[in-house]
Amino acid sequence: MSRRTVAPDFRLPRRRLTRALLAACCALGAGAAAAQPADADEATTLDRMVVKGERAEGYSVRRTSAGTRFTLAPREIPQSVSIISHERIQDQNLDDILDVLANTTGVSSTQSDTERTEFYARGFYIDSYQFDGLPTQMVQNWSYGDSGLDLALYDRVEIVRGATGLLSGAGNPSASVNLVRKHADSAEFTGSVSLNVGEWGRNRTTVDVTTPLNASGSVRARAIGSYLETDAQIERYNQRKTLGYVVVDADLTPDTQLSVGYDYQQKRANGATWGGFPMVFSDGTPTGYPVSFNPAPDWTYWDTTSKRAFATLQHAFANGWNIRIGATHDRSRADDKLFYPAYNDWSTGESFFDPVTGAGVSPSAGFYNTQRNVDGADGYVEGPFRLFGREHQLMAGASYNKRSYANYGDYQVGGAGLPWDPFDSYLGWTGDISQPEWAAVLPLQSEGTITQKAGYAATRLSLADPLKLILGARYTEWESVGELADRSHEAVTPYAGLVFDIDDTWSTYASYTEIFQPQVARDINDRYLDPVDGKSYEIGVKGAWFDDRLNASLAVFRIEQDNVAQITAEPIPTRPGEFAYRAARGTVSRGFEFELNGELAPGWNATFGASRYVAQDADGADINTLLPQSTIKAFTSFTPRSATQLTVGGGVNWQNGIHYPVPAYGRFEQWSYALVNAFVRYRLSPQFTAQLNVNNLLDKVYLSQLNGYGAYGDKRNGQLTFTYSF
């Protein structure tokens, strides 16, 4: 299949947080009394409260470990960082990771079909992800459902842009996405039930409950369940999503916490597309399909299931040092039957689709079963030390990740004289055609295992009161066995960042980071080329106001990719029929990003992000013209102090024009456009709220897919959410 070319009351959350923290403090005190003598120092309990208090407030966070493992304020991190908080997720009614990244500064996407969306930052594909800081890689070519990860179980999402090799291992110099799970953070029985209804028969129910498991509340559990069913603006498409999540958080001692959990996500997509609709007839005229057109027959589907078990143990020592160990086991499965209407020559883009007879569309179909297993572990220690009369910080850890996969499939091509020949004309398409005769046993298409073992360390040196230097490196042993060829690499990825505090509000920084990506190309001597090397240079200015509740950043960056494989005309003597590759200078991306995110005033939260980049290959040509080079993303919510039961807000996402080159016809284009969204929420009682979200308020018609095949983005639609909290 991978061969396819084609705000609530501003004061109320504070009261709830205060009650939760007070309850947790009481639980800690009870635990401490049981574990320590009566005259034990209570300072340890207070330190633990600080750790538990590191959560999003409004649209931002005061401190985060994103990018470095050191717990820092955003303006102390020498890279661009975006936080999508739980409150913002609620305001914008964001369903999944696709929605989050679509609203993140500097992130853009391309769409391959109804189930696959690929995300990019600064012109490079994002394949580095983390769950509670534990790194893994996710790719979309076989699509295990990664782009549809449900947000109901995540508290917030943290995105670090640029090369992130210190904590990620192999990947691209684009960004790293960390999904932070919700935990049982209340020692009292609490929860919520919500019902979301909307356009196209949408109906989603979510239940979220937290309860103590013992009298003191030192052991707590949280369970989240969600079910979604919806049709879509395209014909014959519907989706069913089921989510189950449970986590148990236990205070083993006042300084030791254990978290164990499991999540289950299942998506059933009927009428799923593989590619999109043909965009042009053979005479060069547009096909002109309506937004409701589905190029797939009525028997296609794309089902995915993921199961993740995880555990985290952390301990705070009396001397300020902390240790954290995490492990996960993930199982992802996909089962799909798909249809692909081949209609053109991919080398020239010339269409064979006759506008009169409807001939020239060659049917093809695929039946696939794919599976992926991931075992990962990551542990590190972090704390202060003194040197030359100043206090510094040190972090050191080790990481292991093993990803194994097997992809089975049957690919059938139809046409005149072939066993499967379902139609002569694609005109008047209704999706009513027969399936091909599938193989009784699906043959293996690909399999392999990729293993990464790594050790990493970094130190944050206080050179002077306003000047901090972060130096670090990661040593990775990377090995791939099974697909194409066995290969292995060893790599050291350095990290350096310098931060200068201009005053209590402003800081400026400069950083250099790296990341590597192995490749399978061979040179004239039959040796694998060295990994593609991604280098990221960044300088910027950051500001923070209102006790770090409002953060701003302006970054200028340059990213280079080197050792990119380039084919030559020289044959490899030991491999008849294969030509050698050479390592060449690759893509250079340069640009800027600006973001303002957080609380502008009591009850007023806002985010504004603007980005611009230019990415060119070694010949100076723009790469991936399907990505917008300029974007603006803004959203705000406001709760009047005179009417705290009411919250209103809205925003806009704008991008410049994109195009797809087609030698036979020039190119397909989507002009620049803006999508306007709005919401209103009213608290009918202390426990009951109603919220209305309207997306694409101006009903803009635009192409969300443009890669020779087309698909339209969602037209104007609304959703109404009722939430009861207890």
pLDDT at 141: 64
What is the 3-class SS of 674-692, one letter each residue?
Answer: EEEEEEEEEEEECCEEEEE
List pLDDT tens digits, range 201-249.
999 999 999 999 999 999 999 999 999 999 999 999 999 999 999 999 9
Residue with tokens 């909307």: 198
3-state class (DSSP) for residue 69? coil
pLDDT at 24: 35
- The number of CA neighbours under 13 Å toward the Cβ of 516 is 22
Asked if residue 294 is part of any domain, the answer here is: yes
- Split at pLDDT 50, 70, 90, the class of 17 is very low
Report, as an integer, the average pLDDT of 369-394.
96
Asked if residue 2 is part of any domain, the answer here is: no
Report whether pLDDT(304) > 50. yes
What dihedral angle (degrees, nearest 10) is formed by the CA atoms of 546, 550, 555, 561?
Answer: 130
Q: Are 287 and 95 in contact (CB under 8 A)?
A: no
Question: pLDDT averaged over the chain?
Answer: 90
- The number of CA neighbours under 13 Å toward the Cβ of 668 is 25
pLDDT at 347: 85
What 8-state DSSP symbol labels residue 72? B
pLDDT at 209: 98
- Split at pLDDT 50, 70, 90, the class of 48 is very low
Report, as an integer, the average pLDDT of 500-521.
94
Asked if residue 6 is part of any domain, the answer here is: no
Q: Are 303 and 332 in contact (CB under 8 A)?
A: no
Report whether pLDDT(2) > 80. no
What dihedral angle (degrees, nearest 10) is formed by the CA atoms of 557, 81, 157, 633?
Answer: -70
CB within 8 Å of 69: residues ≥ 6 apart: 133, 167, 380, 382, 395, 397, 458
What 8-state DSSP symbol labels residue 57? B
DSSP element (H, E) containing 535: strand 532-545
CB within 8 Å of 387: residues ≥ 6 apart: none
Report, as an integer, the average pLDDT of 536-542.
98
Q: What is the CA radius of gyration of the chain?
A: 26
Residue with tokens 């200068």: 500
Asked if residue 85 is part of any domain, the answer here is: yes
pLDDT at 9: 35
pLDDT at 582: 86
- Return the structure tokens found at 337: 């039957």
pLDDT at 604: 97
- Give the predicted TM-score (pTM) of the model: 0.88
What is the 3-class SS of 316-385, one letter each residue?
Answer: ECCCCCEEEEEEEEEEEEEEEEEEEEECECCCCCCECCCCCCCCCCEEEEEEEEEEEEEEEEEEEEEEEE
Number of domains in the chain: 1
261-282 core/surface letters (b: 16 or more CB in 10 A; e: else): bebbbbbbbbbbbbbbbbbbbb
CA distances 94 to 108, 152, 591, Å, are 16, 9, 28
Report whether pLDDT(319) > 70. yes
Asked if residue 5 is part of any domain, the answer here is: no
- Return the structure tokens found at 164: 């992130």
Asked if residue 4 is part of any domain, the answer here is: no
Q: Are 244 and 209 in contact (CB under 8 A)?
A: no
For residue 51, the domain's CATH number is: 2.40.170.20
Asked if residue 267 is part of any domain, the answer here is: yes
Report whether pLDDT(182) > 80. yes
Report whether pLDDT(43) > 50. no
List pLDDT tens digits, range 543-592.
999 999 999 999 999 999 988 887 888 888 888 878 888 887 888 999 99
Report whether pLDDT(14) > 60. no
- Return the structure tokens found at 302: 């794309």
Q: Say how many C-beta atoms besides its own lie within 10 A of residue 188's C-beta.
A: 15
pLDDT at 484: 66
Asked if residue 25 is part of any domain, the answer here is: yes
Residue 117 or 145, more confident: 117
Least confident among 54-58, 305-309, 430-434, 715-719: 54-58
3-state class (DSSP) for residue 146? helix
Q: Which structural domain, as residue segments, surrounds residue 459?
A: 11-725
- Return the structure tokens found at 233: 């603006």
Share of the chain above pLDDT 70, in %: 92
pLDDT at 315: 98
Residue 434 or 567, more confident: 434
List pLDDT tens digits, range 337-355.
999 999 999 889 999 999 9
